[in-house]
């Protein structure tokens, strides 16, 4: 490869993201990338004081040296920590220069703010990540608080990315650990998709499946290999762009994390990173799935609870939602998917009939709980509820509540419909010593 050839990683066709440059020292290709993908547009760098130091200032120098005339950069304060608030995106959109290409220089929050602002102005943008911390760099939609309510605001993924591993290597260590944990969730998220596919709730889409599951074991093989991990996180974003849905990237482990987030989870007064929450979540998911793998169908169903009446279920849901911090949706969603009478009986029959075949599929898809825990520990990620600030009680409460909050079919629905969720949750003891 000659020095002037951009280290381009192929991107599946037909996505918002058209060009992905990844490598050590890749920032030097930013001028070339912008000229190629956004001809004639004025670069407009957006950063905070930290990411400006890490990459923004150098990027501006490179653009000027290449004869480009970047607009005056927009730099947020680095402290206090910038919150992903929709109001900042509106502000960015309102001051966005004419005929520009916004260039987000940052980790998750800056990218989400710029992604949304560019979406508001219907302009394609470029992202220069400064940490290898989440899979959201390449996904459509931005996770923002709109009037204090965290939601995914619709907007296109970045049209181009310029990811320099030597810059990302300067980010604090826990950010890479967090990115590794988020990537490792794709193993259990895939297993949740297998469950949904097996009971006919959501079919596996083969091309999307291959993009992630065909490569995941390679991507998670070394928790310090940033090139490999960022490639995996980026591909996860593409898979969501292809599906227009987060199914390929997110299963029950992400649902746990959403519940803990809504409950305002903090550890020693600070927010816990996304990756660390879903990392603990993925261990819980793995243990619930190990119950299916290791319990013969007859033995399992000997413990099944009987199906509740709608009134009983409604009371059970109210009890789980007693903290009142989850909004109105979970009650509606969980009652709508609750099965009674014939539908409930048929679902149980189906579950019993696929139980052992499914156990074999899950065992093939998953690493064991011990293996997953060792991988997370080795990557300096927390592996117990206490390490992310959860009491055992709050941990267990989150597992049951997570089944209520979304329509995504996971191991939680499967076990609940079988009348075996409480029984399977006994396995979680292994995480709570
Ligand atoms: Zn995630």
Label residue 433 by pLDDT band (50, 70, 90).
confident
Distance from Cα 152 to the centre of ligand 1, integer Å: 13
Same domain assignment for residues 167 and 24: yes
pTM of the model: 0.94
Say how many Å lie between the CA of residue 166 and the centre of ligand 1: 23
Are residues 131 and 238 both part of a single domain? no
Cα-to-centroid distance, 254 and ligand 1 (Å): 7
Task: Tell me whether residue 4 is in a domain.
Answer: no
Mean pLDDT calculated for residue range 367-380: 98
pLDDT at 149 exceeding the cut of 80:
no
Query: How many A from CA of 183 to the centre of ligand 1?
Result: 7
Q: Are residues 183 and 147 in the same domain?
A: no
215 found inside a domain: yes
Residue 104 DSSP SS3:
strand
| Long-range contact pairs involving 95-101 (C-beta distance under 8 Å, separation at least 24) | 96/44, 96/121, 96/123, 97/42, 97/44, 97/71, 98/42, 99/40, 99/41, 99/42, 100/41, 100/42, 100/43, 100/44, 100/71, 101/34, 101/38, 101/41, 101/42, 101/43, 101/44, 101/125, 101/126
Question: Ligand 1 centroid to 70 CA: how many Å?
Answer: 33
Q: Assess if residue 10 is contained within a domain.
A: no
At 134, give phi and psi (nearest 5°). Answer: -150, 170
* 428 Cα to the center of ligand 1, angstroms: 22
Q: How far apart are CA 402 and CA 270, in angstroms?
A: 23
> For residue 378, is it within any domain?
yes
Per-residue pLDDT, averaged over 82-104, amounts to 96
Q: Which CATH number covers residue 150?
A: 3.40.50.1970
Task: Give the structural domain span for 84.
Answer: 19-171
Domain boundary (105, 140, 171) is at 171
* Same domain? 342 vs 423: yes
pLDDT at 1: 46
Mean pLDDT of all residues belonging to the chain: 96
Residue 410 has pLDDT above 60, yes or no: yes
Residue at 204 is within a domain: yes
Which of 171, 192, 215 represents a domain boundary (last residue)?
171
Residues 300-311, mean pLDDT to the nearest whole number: 97
Choose the final residue of a domain: 171, 187, 207: 171
The single-letter DSSP state of residue 107 is: S
For the chain, the domain total comes to 2
Quote the pLDDT of residue 324: 87
Task: Specify whether 49 is located in the same domain as 186.
Answer: no
pLDDT at residue 3, as a whole number: 60
Question: For position 358, which CATH number holds?
Answer: 1.20.1090.10
Per cent of the chain over pLDDT 90 is 91
5 located within any domain: no
Tell me: do 416 and 353 sit in the same domain: yes
Top pLDDT among 262 and 418 is at 418
Q: Indicate if 161 and 203 belong to the same structural domain.
A: no
Residues 189 and 88 in one domain: no
Same domain, 179 and 258: yes
Q: Is residue 408 part of a domain?
A: yes
399 and 259 share a domain? Answer: yes
Given this model, what pLDDT does residue 108 score?
86
Q: 186-213: per-residue pLDDT in tens?
A: 999 999 999 999 999 999 999 999 999 9
Q: Is residue 371 part of a domain?
A: yes
Cα-to-centroid distance, 347 and ligand 1 (Å)? 30
Q: Could you read off the pLDDT of 204-260 as tens digits, one per residue?
A: 999 999 999 999 999 999 999 999 999 999 999 999 999 999 999 999 999 999 999
- One domain, residues 72 and 178: no
DSSP 142: E
Residue 164 has pLDDT above 60, yes or no: yes
Ligand 1 center–CA 250 separation, angstroms: 6
Asked if 223 and 136 sit in the same domain, the reply is no
Summarised one tens digit per residue, pLDDT across range 13-55 is: 999 999 999 999 999 999 999 999 999 999 999 999 999 999 9
């Amino acid at each position: 490869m000659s020095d002037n050839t951009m280290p381009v990683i192929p991107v599946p066709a037909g996505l918002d993201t058209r060009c992905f440059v990844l490598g050590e020292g890749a920032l030097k290709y930013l001028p070339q990338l912008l000229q190629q993908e956004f001809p004639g547009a004025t670069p407009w760098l957006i950063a905070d004081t930290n990411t400006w130091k890490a990459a923004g200032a150098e990027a501006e120098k490179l653009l000027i040296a290449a004869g480009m005339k970047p607009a005056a950069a927009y730099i947020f304060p680095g402290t206090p920590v910038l919150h992903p608030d929709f109001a900042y995106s509106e502000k960015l959109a309102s001051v966005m220069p004419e005929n520009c290409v916004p260039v987000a220089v940052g980790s998750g929050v800056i990218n989400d703010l710029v992604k949304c602002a560019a979406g508001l102005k219907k302009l394609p943008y470029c992202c220069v990540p400064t940490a290898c911390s989440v899979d959201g760099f390449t996904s459509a939609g931005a996770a923002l608080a709109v009037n204090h309510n965290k939601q995914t605001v619709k907007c296109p993924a970045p049209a181009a990315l310029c990811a320099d591993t030597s810059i990302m290597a300067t980010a604090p260590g826990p950010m890479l650990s967090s990115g590794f944990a988020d990537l490792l969730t794709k193993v259990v998220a895939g297993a949740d998709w297998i469950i949904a596919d097996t009971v006919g709730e959501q079919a596996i889409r083969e091309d999307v499946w291959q993009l992630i599951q065909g490569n995941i074991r390679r991507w998670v093989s070394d928790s310090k290999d940033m090139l490999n991990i960022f490639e995996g996180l980026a591909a996860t974003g593409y898979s969501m762009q292809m599906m227009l849905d987060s199914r390929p990237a997110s299963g029950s482990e992400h649902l746990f994390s959403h519940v803990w987030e809504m409950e305002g989870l903090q550890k020693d007064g600070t927010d816990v990173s996304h990756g660390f929450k879903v990392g603990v979540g993925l261990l819980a998911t793995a243990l619930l799935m190990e119950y299916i793998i290791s319990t013969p169908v007859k033995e399992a169903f000997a413990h099944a609870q009987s199906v509740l009446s709608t009134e009983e279920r409604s009371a059970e849901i109210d009890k789980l939602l007693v903290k009142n911090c989850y909004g109105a949706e979970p009650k509606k969603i969980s009652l709508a998917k609750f099965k009674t009478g014939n539908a409930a009986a048929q679902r149980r029959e189906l579950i019993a009939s696929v139980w052992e075949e499914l156990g074999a599929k899950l065992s093939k898809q998953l690493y064991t709980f011990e293996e997953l825990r060792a991988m997370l520990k080795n990557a300096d990620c927390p592996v117990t509820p206490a390490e992310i600030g959860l009491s055992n009680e709050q941990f267990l409460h989150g597992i049951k509540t997570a089944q209520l909050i979304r329509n995504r079919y996971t191991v939680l629905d499967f076990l609940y419909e079988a009348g075996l969720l409480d029984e399977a949750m006994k396995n979680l003891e292994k995480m709570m010593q």
